[in-house]
Chain A
Amino acid sequence: MSSTPGNEPLLEWPAKYNEVPKQVFEMDELWPKELETIFYGAEWHPIVHRAEIPNPGDYKAAELGEMPIFAVHGDDGAIRVFQNTCTHRGTSLVTESSGNKKEFECPYHRWLFSLEGDLVGCPNSRDFTPDFDKKNFSLFQLRTEEFCGLYFVTMSDKTPPLKEYLGESFYEPLSRVLGGDGRLKLAGYQKVMYDCNWKAYCDNDGYHAPLLHKAFALLNWQGGKGFQRISENGHLTFESELKIPDEITALKDGSILDFKGTTTSTGSIVQMQFPLTVYSKHMDMLNIRYAFPKGPKGIEVHYAYFTHEDDNDEMIRHRIRQSSNLLGPCGLISMEDASVFSRIDKGNKTPGNAIFQKGVQDEYALSFEVKQNDESGNLPRWEHYRKLMGFKRAAQ
């Protein structure tokens, strides 16, 4: 089944919409196709928030699929995203994950690029090709759009405008994760490598049934009222009230669970943007999870945490204590998630399909009606993935 001659798809998809072939997590040969159709295809990928590179000259390196890129804050205040490669013979230009530079000099033959990506110097150019013109050798810039200070890139000129791509039901809550107006300050990162295929990560991070979390039960913390919204192109938003008990007996210091925000109606927002970015606002934590697949196996996740420019000292301290202790690879309410990524990955090295149950009314139809704790919210994303990858659904 895994490799067939000619242009046959690599995989046949089950007839039932609530079934996902476990092989999809395990077949390394899917990766080149995923790069082409998803990571280099008509999707938007968040790369950097302005708060991460607030000053002219600040840069941040990242990857899009396997392509190294970097975002720079220009002298003109604009943020641009470039391929991390010299336009002469391809040497990578930035080697640190972040920093500040006045210009980017390639060490090989000393070509010099401005913060805006223009080639401003190249020694010995009178020996170059007769029609050599610096103007034709600016850094390769990616198509970029911004929302609430967050910059997204796409490799395709067919990708719809960002807001259309995200849809209002996604970008409105996203604006609240980004502090309402995007006036954020970076508080720091937690970075970790998870030992699983990127799809096992995105199928299980973000929102899932709270059964996994013993902490919720132990803290007597029951989910408040909420809903999920899903879009046809695989984005998912989950929103709920928080119901934290007044007294938390399991912890000596319950203050890390305080919710100081002004309204409990948005106590918890978790969003999964196709293909693999999670945004969350739990209590007072503002979090973007940039995720970088390392080929078909392994995914590096950078949890970026923010405070808001209007926060007073007490609020800043509170957000930092909460973010450092509740989320991420060591977090009280999220470490179990991480343990599931690798266990799902191990378990999927078995034949058959992963079968979704909760919330599935008709196995042969895709439904966008999903209740708060239904796992069927993941199914539109799988359907979007199946279509992009060109896998045929088996006959019923």
Chain B
Amino acid sequence: MSSSITLIENLNRDYICALDSLDMSAWLACFNLKGRYTFISEENERRGFPIAFMLDDCYERLQDRVTQVVEIQSDSTEHYQTRHFTQLVSVSETDNGLINAVFNYSIYYTQRDNNLTKILCVGQYFDTIKLDGDNASYIERKAVTDTNVLPRYTAYPV
């Protein structure tokens, strides 16, 4: 288990570093071809409502997320620098050999126009991870945010 925890932590580190440096192809590389990504409010999740802020339920959607950030919306977005802080709080193995992990996260953002730092959102990542030798990748990363009212429009995945 301890070696798989290292792999899980490394995968998470790749993921948050990709977002903090806005390297969207590195973000995409964290997912395998079955990968899914969801960014949803805690309120919807708790009440069983499926509407998400971002719902990339297949690999093509993940690719389109990259296109959206890099090509479609880059010129109208007021860029903000994020910093992701995460903490692994639970790991377990499923019957079919996959790993379920939960990370707490808090994400700060700094806007270039005023250089003030605020909290973008706080919540938990619910991960399903495939381990393949020394390689770990997401089958699913679901970011559930306790911040049910986002403080601004959100251009990048969290």
Contact = CB atoms under 8 A, between A and B. Distances in A.
Contacts of B63: 252-253
B22 to A, nearest CB: 15
B44 A188 contact: yes
Interface in B32-56: 39, 41, 43-44, 47, 49-56
B68 A332 contact: yes
Contacts of A218: 71-72
B135 interface: no
B25 interface: no
Interface in A300-356: 300, 305, 320-321, 323-325, 328-330, 332, 335-336, 338-340, 342-343, 346
A191 interface: yes
Nearest to B48: A188
Nearest to B50: A320
A7 interface: no
Contacts of A120: none
A294 to B, nearest CB: 10
A338 B56 CA distance: 21
B153 A251 contact: no
A187 interface: yes
B84 interface: no
B78 A190 contact: no
Residue of B50, B51, B155 ringed by the most chain A CB atoms within 10 A: B51
B154 A329 contact: yes
B146 to A, nearest CB: 12
Contacts of A251: 60, 64, 67
A336 B76 contact: yes
B153 A194 contact: yes
Interface in A192-221: 192-195, 212, 214-215, 218
A189 interface: yes
B57 A321 contact: yes
B119 interface: no
A148 interface: no
Contacts of A215: 68, 72-73
A244 interface: no
A263 interface: no
Given A252-B61, A329-B150, 6 more contacts: A188-B52, A191-B41, A252-B64, A323-B51, A330-B53, A332-B68
20 contacts: A97-B148, A187-B49, A189-B43, A192-B152, A193-B149, A193-B151, A193-B152, A215-B68, A252-B60, A252-B61, A252-B67, A256-B61, A300-B149, A323-B51, A330-B153, A338-B153, A339-B77, A339-B153, A340-B76, A342-B78
